């Protein structure tokens, strides 16, 4: 419990930093007065229109990425699984390309629906192919189906991008992943999907614990294995599909956060999931803050920062042998 409290405090601190720090300097006093007694202050707009939504986006998207990574690794019993295995990222990217190339949309906001639809459709296809046969959606079949279908969709995406330079330019910005475009209405639209995914994720905790000992043991303990797998996969798609639709593909968080969570909390998903849901925003918001200040007066997008900053930390972590087998 104390670990969770400490993490929650750390997330709170990072959230305050995220509101206070940006490429444009705002004195701490003005930040606080804009936050707690808004009313025509000079910085009210920047704080409430830009930094607060961006911080909230970092919190909820970070939690979604951390949770979906933990569920994905539990579902597949694969320590290098991330939601990409289900084709979420490939599908979202294809959806965006369709929006640009087929429908001629050049508005970042218009991509959200297409990205989510692409993520949902492609992961549904991966699930259908990977769950054929009487033993259902085994981790190996899912991984193979996901790799094959992602490669197929990815090559279709590439074909369009190489042929059309306008689409390529547009896509380029989307494909890095950034919290800067997150606005309040977008977050409100995403909220039900994220809440549904989070509820499902916490609902399958016992199933994931049982599955972590293999499908046979899970079944012998009375779990309906295909139901658990289906619910877990749906949770992953809702969480990571919404995340990628809202802010673009952000790698690394979903892959690495569950490892840190397991190192801190052990293998029980009752602890791994809440830890991941707190570590995710910590990493994502932390990376976003770094991205805002490394290249003042311009910004580096968070999708480029998470891996650049996170990878060395994770390598150090791996070398300490703190990574656990699943």
Partner 1 sequence: MDDEALGARGLVVGYRGHEVIDGLDLALMRGRITAIIGANGCGKSTLLRALSRLLPSEGTVVLDGRDTATLSTREIARRLSVLPQGPSAPEGLTVADLVARGRYPHQRWLRQWSETDEAAVREALERTNMTAFAGRPVDELSGGQRQKAWIAMALAQRTDTVLLDEPTTYLDIGHQAEVLDLLVELNVSAGRTIVFVLHDLNQAARYADRVIAMERGRIAADGTPDEVITPETLRAVFDVEAHVVADPHSGAPLVIPASVPLTVRRAAPAAS
Residue closer to partner 1, measured from CB, 189 or 264:
264
The token duo for 272 is 């791994």
Q: Give the one residue of 5, 102, 151, 213 binding partner 1; rule: CB under 8 A.
A: 213
CA angle 6–50–7, rounded 5-degree value: 5
Residue closer to partner 1, measured from CB, 185 or 268:
268
Scored b (16 or more CB within 10 A) or e, 100-120 reads bbeeebeebeebbebbbbbbb
The rounded distance, in Å, linking the Cα atoms of 14 and 277 is 15
Q: How far is the CB of 312 from partner 1 (least distance, A)?
A: 24
Number of residues that bind partner 1 (CB under 8 A): 22
318 scored as a contact of partner 1 (CB under 8 A): no
Instruction: Write each residue from 249 to 268 as x if it is in contact with partner 1 (CB under 8 A), else as -, in one continuous string.
Output: -------------x---xxx
The token duo for 47 is 């704080």
45 scored as a contact of partner 1 (CB under 8 A): no
140 scored as a contact of partner 1 (CB under 8 A): no
Residue closer to partner 1, measured from CB, 27 or 214:
214
Q: CB under 8 Å to 85, separation ≥6 — which residues?
A: 72, 76, 78, 142, 143, 146, 147, 150
Q: How far is the CB of 226 from partner 1 (least distance, A)?
A: 10
Q: Give the one residue of 42, 107, 224, 293 binding partner 1; rule: CB under 8 A.
A: 224
210 scored as a contact of partner 1 (CB under 8 A): yes
Residue closer to partner 1, measured from CB, 134 or 320:
134
Q: How far is the CB of 157 from partner 1 (least distance, A)?
A: 36
- The values of phi and psi at residue 236, to 5°, are -60, -45
The token duo for 79 is 């320590």
Burial of residue 129 (number of CB atoms within 10 Å: 0-12, 13-18, 19+): middle
Q: Give the one residue of 222, 297, 298, 320 binding partner 1; rule: CB under 8 A.
A: 222
Q: CB under 8 Å to 132, separation ≥6 — which residues?
A: 141
The rounded distance, in Å, linking the Cα atoms of 313 and 318 is 9
217 scored as a contact of partner 1 (CB under 8 A): yes
Q: How far is the CB of 84 from partner 1 (least distance, A)?
A: 22
Q: Point out which residues bind partner 1 (CB under 8 A).
A: 134, 206, 209-210, 212-214, 216-217, 219-224, 262, 266-268, 324-326
């Amino acid at each position: 419990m104390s670990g969770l409290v400490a993490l929650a405090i750390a997330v709170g601190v990072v959230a305050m930093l995220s509101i206070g720090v940006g490429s444009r300097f705002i004195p701490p006093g003005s930040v606080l007065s804009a936050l707690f007694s808004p009313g025509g202050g000079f910085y009210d707009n920047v704080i409430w229109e830009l930094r607060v939504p961006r911080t909230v986006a970092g919190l909820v998207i970070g939690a979604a990425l951390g949770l979906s990574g933990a569920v994905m690794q539990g579902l597949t019993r694969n320590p290098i699984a991330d939601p990409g295995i289900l084709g979420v990222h490939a599908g979202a990217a294809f959806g965006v390309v369709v929006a640009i190339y087929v429908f001629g949309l050049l508005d970042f906001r218009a991509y959200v629906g297409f990205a989510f639809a692409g993520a949902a459709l492609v992961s549904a296809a991966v699930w259908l192919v990977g769950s054929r046969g009487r033993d259902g959606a085994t981790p190996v079949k899912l991984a193979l189906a996901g790799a094959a279908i992602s490669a197929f969709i990815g090559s279709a995406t590439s074909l369009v991008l190489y042929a059309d330079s306008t689409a390529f330019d547009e896509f380029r910005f989307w494909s890095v992943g950034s919290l800067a475009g997150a606005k309040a209405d977008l977050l409100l639209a995403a909220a039900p999907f994220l809440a549904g995914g989070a509820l499902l994720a916490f609902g399958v905790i016992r199933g994931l614990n049982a599955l972590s000992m293999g499908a046979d043991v899970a079944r012998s303990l009375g779990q309906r294995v295909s139901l658990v797998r289906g619910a877990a996969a749906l949770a992953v798609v809702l969480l990571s599909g919404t995340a990628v639709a809202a802010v673009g593909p952000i790698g690394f968080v979903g892959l690495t956060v569950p490892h840190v969570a397991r190192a801190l909390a052990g293998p029980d998903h009752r602890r791994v999931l809440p830890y991941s849901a707190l570590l995710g925003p910590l990493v994502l918001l932390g990376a976003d803050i770094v991205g805002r200040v490394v290249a003042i007066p311009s910004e580096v997008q968070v999708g480029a920062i998470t891996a650049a900053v996170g990878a060395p930390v994770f390598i150090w972590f791996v070398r300490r042998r703190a990574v656990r087998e699943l």
